[in-house]
Amino acid sequence: MLTSADPRTGRAWPTGIEATDAVTVATTAAAASKAFAVTRWSTRAWRAGLLDAIAVALESHREELTGVADRETGLGAARLAGEVGRSAFQFRLFADALREGSYVEATIDHAETTELGPQPEIRRMLVPIGPVAVFGSSNFPFAFSVAGGDTASALAGGNTVVLKAHGSHLETSARSFEVISDAVAGYGGPAGTIGIVYGTEAGRVLVSDPHIRAVGFTGSLTAGRALIDIINQREEPIPFYGELSSLNPLVITPAAAAARADAIADGLFGSYTLGAGQFCTKPGVAFIPVGADGDRIVAGLVERTTAANAQVLLNERIVTSFGEIRDRLIAAGAASIAVAGAVDSSGFAASPTVLAIDADAISPAVAEEAFGPLVVVARYDDLEEIYAALDAVPDSLTATIHHEPGEPIDALVRELAPHAGRIVFNGYPTGVRVSWGQHHGGTWPSTNSQHTSVGVSAIRRFLRPIAFQGAPESVLPSELREENVDGVPRRVDGRLRIG
């Protein structure tokens, strides 16, 4: 029997959920494969309706889901209710993308004679790949878990899904799964369209199951690496789309420090403590200029941090790890300059902490991600010190620049852009808009793939191209027939056409 715990009190209880045994994992994956034999031929319109039905179901259970999740995560009702809304919004965005249809990349090259001789007609589009294993995250019990972007994008593409519930919110996962599963069944989706397994070992068995054709994962670098190693042992290799680790450097230019020291101190404090610092996009290192303006930012940060209370973390392992990493950073040369109120003896909590170091003293040892409310303030004399420090900082999901209008920042952007997936200007990296253009991923070790679970392009991870050469109209999918009945954007003879 697996247990859950209230992080506010540390009180644990039996969940009634058993760790899934290997036979049941295999049965679940086989059911997903059987369902895929149906969903792979489903229409975009049918799947758009399915996603809408899931969105409606999530919203209609928002209060209940929020309550279950709050008890297991301590993230608070307001944040969690917003997260359910965000998940529903995400399912609807993918439904919009399905109806619009350009994501299939329909391409038609008519037969013609080129300088290379007579060429056959080729028609290509993207089609689904099969059952996808989705590993939920600890820190977003809805938006990056059972009801998250991996699930939404995999289903949108016509695939089926087997979830691996995160051990930190088992009941939330189970209830989210029931809500979605009921919505799928009510809509008429085949049994096995969505399945779930519980327990670390079940996750390992799942990624080695031959029915599974891709893995979506949000979690730690260590856990991700372990799954990659298992995948490497498979007879048939499959893609692993992992969002893994991120330090998210933030740079405050001298002009920004001069103009907005207090606002930046306030914004940075809010960002590094948001969700108790348990955001993959938390700014982990802030480059602040030496001198009076920078001093004001640091003083503001210290003041707010010292006045703050300890924050509830998701589970005991995170608390332990947070303390260990904080101590390692200090041992590696970062000085503790502010610590929030002390932690009660009960519950899983940590005190927000500011460490400081000279930018030119940054080494890989002080560039370790601390999952929780901690920021390292790195003081710099000139931007060159930042450029040098970036060699020691692992590539990240985001990089942020606070600057003032007219200030030359081209060089700074060019130094940061190779190291991050999203460059934020005069804002904070926490908070990831769900939209067509979003990209949530960077170069290794922040992710190991081009694509991520946020933004419409997430769907492309779970698709593959197929080309038809000289096919009779009757066997072609509607998107590739000569008459464009759906009005899908297509490329015809090299020219992009809308509808």
Q: Is 262 in the site for a second copy (CB under 8 A)?
A: no
Structure tokens at 43: 């229409």
Strands 2-5 and 117-119: unpaired
DSSP sequence for 409-431: -HHHHHHHGGGEEEEEESS-SSS
Q: What letter does residue 285 receive in the DSSP assignment? A: E
Looking at 152, 451, 479, 484, which residue binds a second copy (CB under 8 A)? 451
Name which position in 19, 30, 45, 122 contacts a second copy (CB under 8 A): 122
Residue type, 161: V
- Quickly count: other Cβ atoms within 10 Å of residue 232's Cβ: 9
Contact region with a second copy (CB under 8 A), list: 61-69, 165-173, 267-275, 456-464:
456-464
Binding mask 211-230 for a second copy (x = CB under 8 A): -----------------x--
19-38 residues in contact with a second copy (CB under 8 A) are none
| Nearer to a second copy (CB atom), residue 296 or residue 451 | 451
- Residue 438 interacts with a second copy (CB under 8 A)? yes
Q: Which of 83, 100, 171, 243 is catalytic?
A: 243
Among 12, 309, 342, 436, binds a second copy (CB under 8 A): 436
**Least distance in angstroms from the C-beta of 407 to a second copy:** 9
Check: CB of residue 158 under 8 Å from CB of residue 94.
no
DSSP 457: G
Choices 150-158, 261-269, 375-383, 450-458 (CB under 8 A): range interacting with a second copy: 450-458
Contact 173, 4 (CB under 8 A): no
Q: How many angstroms separate the CA atoms of 161 and 193, rounded?
A: 6
Q: Does 44 bind a second copy (CB under 8 A)?
A: no
Question: Taking CB under 8 A as the rule, does residue 439 contact a second copy?
Answer: yes
Specify burial of residue 482 (Cβ count, 10 A radius: 0-12, 13-18, 19+): exposed
Catalytic (active site) residue 280: yes
- The torsion angle over the Cα atoms of residues 225, 229, 230 and 236, rounded to 10 degrees, is 120
Using CB under 8 A as the binding rule, whether residue 77 contacts a second copy is answered as: no
Least Å distance between CB 51 and a second copy?
A: 16
* Residue placing its CB nearer to a second copy in the complex, 100 or 385: 100
Among 124, 211, 296, 304, binds a second copy (CB under 8 A): 124
Q: What is the dihedral of CA 479, 483, 488, 489, to 10 degrees?
A: 110
In the region spanning residues 375 to 404, those forming contacts with a second copy, defined by CB under 8 A, are none
For a second copy, which residue of 131, 267, 373, 489 counts as binding (CB under 8 A)?
Answer: 489
User: Closest separation between CB of residue 186 and a second copy, Å?
Assistant: 24
Based on the shown chain and the rule CB under 8 A, indicate whether residue 405 belongs to the binding site for a second copy.
yes
Q: How far apart are CA 227 and CA 217, in angstroms?
A: 9
User: With CB under 8 A as the contact rule, which of the stretches 49-57, 120-128, 260-268, 346-354 interacts with a second copy?
Assistant: 120-128
Residues 310-349 that bind a second copy (CB under 8 A): none
Catalytic site includes residue 243:
yes
Contact 93, 130 (CB under 8 A): no
| Under rule CB under 8 A, residue 8 binds a second copy | no
Residues 131 and 213: beta-carbon distance below 8 Å: yes
Q: Is 11 in the site for a second copy (CB under 8 A)?
A: no
Measured from the CB atom, is 13 or 444 closer to a second copy?
Answer: 444
Signed CA dihedral, 499, 53, 460, 250: sign only: positive
Cβ burial, residue 212 (10 Å; 0-12/13-18/19+):
buried
Instruction: Give the residue, chosen from 342, 444, 482, 487, that forms a contact with a second copy under the rule CB under 8 A.
Output: 444
> Residue 185 interacts with a second copy (CB under 8 A)?
no
- Is 357 among the residues that bind a second copy (CB under 8 A)? no
How far is residue 395's CA from residue 442's CA, in Å, rounded to a whole number? 7
Q: Which of residues 458-487 bind a second copy (CB under 8 A)?
A: 463-472, 474-475
Q: Which of 320, 346, 363, 435 binds a second copy (CB under 8 A)?
A: 435
Stretches 179-187, 251-259, 261-269, 414-422: which one binds a second copy (CB under 8 A)? 414-422
Q: Quick check: helix, strand or coil at residue 248?
A: coil
Dihedral (Cα; 408, 409, 410, 411), 10-degree rounding: 110
* Shortest distance in whole angstroms from residue 305 CB to a second copy: 26
Alpha helices in 308-450 (DSSP H): 316-331, 383-389, 410-416
**Contact between 123 and a second copy per CB under 8 A:** yes
Site for a second copy in 87-106 (CB under 8 A): 89, 96, 100, 102, 105
Catalytic residue (one of 72, 83, 100, 280): 280
Residues 6+ apart with CB under 8 A from 151: 134, 161, 163, 180, 194
The yes or no reply on residue 410 touching a second copy (CB under 8 A) is yes
Catalytically active residues, by annotation? 243, 280
